[in-house]
Structure 1
Amino acid sequence: MQAQVKELGNYYIGGIQTAFNNLLLELGEVENEEYTHVIDQINFISALLKKSTEYLNRRKVDPEGDPELDSAIEEQIGYVWKLIELMQYGLYEENGELIQLSFNSYDNQARKEYVDEGLWLNMRTGRIYKTKNYRPYRAAKYIKEDNSSFDVLQLKEMYIYPGDQNPRVRWETEAVKGRKLTAKDLAAILAFASRNYADTIKTIKNTIKNPLMDKHPVVLISLHKAYLCGDNLVVEDQLGNKLTLKDIEEQNVSSATNLKAILPSAPEGLALTVMMNNDMQTGLLSAQPMSLITPEKIIRLLY
């Protein structure tokens, strides 16, 4: 399988190659005959190959037709979007403002790349986007590493990739200005936070039940209560809906542990940026906290 997977790169289908590399990595980490993550990846590959075949056959019949713009299937196959193409299909926004809610760098072994990932809030719409800076192992020393950003970015043009709940965005560096984060900005961020966990969870479940969608969507939630339930931190909204905060195992960070030390039991007026996770073994839908937003500042829990 490793030899065949290597060949996939020769046909410019790097996304499918990455999916099979992920399968090989999961197989290498199996302990005590526990194959949950392996089966999950096989299901993803099966759905990806089926959707890719149907999609490419449609494009073959109508090569001049528009690509699918409400999913990331092109990128999942391995296509690399050009900014001019995104503009051509109307996937851009002018004169927008973004604030970074969280930032993390990690090693993506399946892609053989280091990834710098930022989570950004659109100050106009409240939508959360991702930025990803890929640094292949072989060229990492030649590619500038992204870093945390603490200013509000004012973008002349922002390009939005096809995707699901948290699509990837890009912009030209020379078309960016920055300004200091203000109390008014923080109030706007807090106003965007979900006050009804039940509605948010319903949306999340509809997203993650599709095998090709992001399994760890990011949302912003408002806080009303917080308390410990066993070893886990639990938060509640004003309607009494509960959400367990728990570190995602494959993220290799302990932001939930960091939050326990600073979150008050009466966190009314605060909000959390959280990454959702559905544990296939226990059936628990939980959230890993990424940052805590207060009326005075954004406290990043990943560092």
Structure 2
Amino acid sequence: MLELTASYIDSLAPNAAAVKNGRGLVAQKKFVKLNKSEEGDLLFGECSGSGKSNYVCSVDFVAPDNPVSRCSCPSRQFPCKHALGLMYAYADGLTFETSSVPEDISSKREKAEKREENKAKKATEEADAKPKKVNKSALKKKVSRQLEALDELEKLTLSLVRGGLGTADARTAKNLNEHAKRLGSSYLTGAENELRRLALLLENESDRERSYTYAAEQLTLLHAFIKKGRSYLQAKLEDPELAPDSESTIEEWLGHAWQLSELKEAGRVSEDVELLQLAFYSYKDDARREYIDTGFWLELGGEAIHRTVQYRPFKAVKHMKQEDSFFNVAKIGELYRYPGGLNARVRFEGLLPRKTESADLQAVRSSARSSIADAVKAVKNQLKDPLADRAPVVLLKASRIAQTEDGGFALVDEAGDTLALGDVYRLPQGSTSLLALTESSLLEDCCVLAMFEHRMDTGRLVAQPLTLIQGERITRLLY
């Protein structure tokens, strides 16, 4: 039986306007026919529009994790408001008459099935074929160019250190941005983004002291990349057949875009996984020149907190759908894991939703770390690697969240150890102050999803609460 929820349908919509219009069609009773197939894997019907003829629409769930919408309307959005309205009508419990699958849809299903068979056949042939030979000459040229770019980057960073950050001005920032372009053309896209981030910090006039603190950390990051990148590239130059490092983030720093087939070959794929999203936010990253949609998901039955990331370049943002919060459990056929630390980036091609149940929330509690000391140890181990994510996220169990004498907040675990809570630099908005407005019952015997950050000016760790989980309630503080 097909299970559709409003939250899942919202996630399929191309934008908020389509959601509103789709719901409006149901509220205005615009659907004159509502049908479903005997197998329950196809919804189809007719919706009255502005013209004489009704719009014929359908949503095909023959591949449940990848529904296909079709409509006779002229809209270029997929799903269009009519297909969305059809699904909302089903989710709202409206009566759908059982009917045979229309011939045109049966024909399209057969063609799609044939395409999938050809695709699978091609994939099998490629897997059985001999491994592709590495173009050693081209690889040598690329690696040599990257090494030259690293030498130039090293000279630039040493010059900044010798001159002192206090001497940096608008001309310095301009030079950094120009150098960042050269890094991009030399296949060092990771370093390009981080050098541009350094330029933005030095351009910040509003809080010079804070900017210099993070600029110093940025220089440390670049210095570490130069050392590790040079060593890795020299090894690849000596051995062109060297397989990509699938454990660290060095490949991404060097501009490598992981293909799903590569992740699968490296054993970084899990099957039949269930994920529960605990936090989601979007922000503008001027260094990358992209909008970034980020979600944090708990893998049910385990302890891993995964991270989904969608990059929407400024130039293409009008043509890309923004991701959104997801409140159901996502059933994933194949989950691909990128190299990373505590919150490795994951990717999946499709999902099946199911309603979140009490057992899922109990699994959240079982997955949370009960000791602040253990959580801090895990965070510090990650921060020892300068190229690792500087803001790891951890799920913690708290006996209570208490207000401190100075008006701040601290998380207290079962052993009585405390962890200071505060807003971190890397998040687009604060959330700690919202604890003062939260029901007191939510702050007792709860779980907290928190993002950690090491503050160089104080030498201490601070954690910003993203989500509270207490009993049957999940309260997201960041949105």
**TM-score normalised over the length of structure 1:** 0.95
Report what 1:221 is aligned to: 396
In 1, the alpha carbon distance for the partners of 2:416 and 2:208 equals 39
Report what 2:326 is aligned to: 149
CA contact (8 A) 1:196 1:239 kept: yes
CA contact (8 A) 1:226 1:265 kept: no
Give, in angstroms, the shift of residue 39 of structure 1. Answer: 0.8
Give, in angstroms, the shift of residue 62 of structure 1. Answer: 2.0
Amino acid in structure 2 at the alignment position of 1:64: E
Report what 1:113 is aligned to: 290
Q: Does 1:165 pair with 2:342?
A: yes
Q: Does 1:190 pair with 2:365?
A: yes
Amino acid in structure 2 at the alignment position of 1:209: K
In 2, the alpha carbon distance for the partners of 1:265 and 1:242 equals 19
Greater shift in the superposed pair: 9-18 or 271-280: 9-18
Amino acid in structure 1 at the alignment position of 2:335: M
Deviations 1:64-83 (A, max 9, x none): 23222221111122211111
In 2, the alpha carbon distance for the partners of 1:109 and 1:29 equals 13
Q: Does 1:238 pair with 2:414?
A: yes
Give, in angstroms, the shift of residue 10 of structure 1. Answer: 1.7
Please give the secondary structure, in 2, of the residue aligned with 1:223.
strand
Give, in angstroms, the shift of residue 200 of structure 1. Answer: 1.0
In 2, the alpha carbon distance for the partners of 1:263 and 1:44 equals 41
Amino acid in structure 1 at the alignment position of 2:178: A
Please give the secondary structure, in 2, of the residue aligned with 1:249.
coil
In 2, the alpha carbon distance for the partners of 1:76 and 1:208 equals 17
CA contact (8 A) 1:226 1:264 kept: no
Deviations 1:200-256 (A, max 9, x none): 111111211321111110000001122211121111111111011111134231211
Report what 1:11 is aligned to: 186
Report what 1:254 is aligned to: 430
Q: 1:265 to 1:172 in 2, by over 3 A?
A: closer
Amino acid in structure 2 at the alignment position of 1:190: R
Please give the secondary structure, in 2, of the residue aligned with 1:251.
coil
In 2, the alpha carbon distance for the partners of 1:293 and 1:4 equals 46
Deviations 1:248-290 (A, max 9, x none): 1342312111122215278443100000011111122111001
Give, in angstroms, the shift of residue 14 of structure 1. Answer: 1.1
Please give the secondary structure, in 1, of the residue aligned with 2:361.
helix
Equivalent residue for 2:474, pick from 295, 298, 301 = 298
Unaligned stretches of 5+ in structure 2?
A: 1-174
Q: 1:62 to 1:282 in 2, by over 3 A?
A: same
Equivalent residue for 2:277, pick from 100, 115, 118 = 100
Q: 1:232 to 1:210 in 2, by over 3 A?
A: same
Greater shift in the superposed pair: 18-27 or 60-69: 60-69
Report what 1:72 is aligned to: 249
In 1, the alpha carbon distance for the partners of 2:370 and 2:478 equals 24
CA contact (8 A) 2:400 2:445 kept: no
Report what 1:181 is aligned to: 356
Deviations 1:155-211 (A, max 9, x none): 0000000111110000112xx111000011000001111111111111111211321
Q: Which structure ranks higher in relative contact order (CA pairs < 8 Å, sequence separation ≥ 6)? A: 1
Amino acid in structure 2 at the alignment position of 1:10: S
CA contact (8 A) 2:442 2:470 kept: no
Q: 1:64 to 1:292 in 2, by over 3 A?
A: same
CA contact (8 A) 2:301 2:363 kept: no
In terms of fraction of residues, the more strand-rich structure is: 1
Report what 1:25 is aligned to: 200
CA contact (8 A) 1:293 1:299 kept: yes
In terms of fraction of residues, the more helix-rich structure is: 2
Amino acid in structure 2 at the alignment position of 1:153: A
> Root-mean-square deviation (CA), in Å?
1.5
Q: Does 1:279 pair with 2:455?
A: yes
Q: Does 1:205 pair with 2:380?
A: yes
Q: 1:32 to 1:294 in 2, by over 3 A?
A: closer
Give, in angstroms, the shift of residue 300 of structure 1. Answer: 0.7
In 1, the alpha carbon distance for the partners of 2:371 and 2:208 equals 40
CA contact (8 A) 1:161 1:168 kept: yes
Deviations 1:48-106 (A, max 9, x none): 11111111111222222322222111112221111111011110000001010100000
Greater shift in the superposed pair: 116-125 or 31-40: 31-40
Larger-gyration structure (1/2): 2
Q: 1:265 to 1:151 in 2, by over 3 A?
A: closer
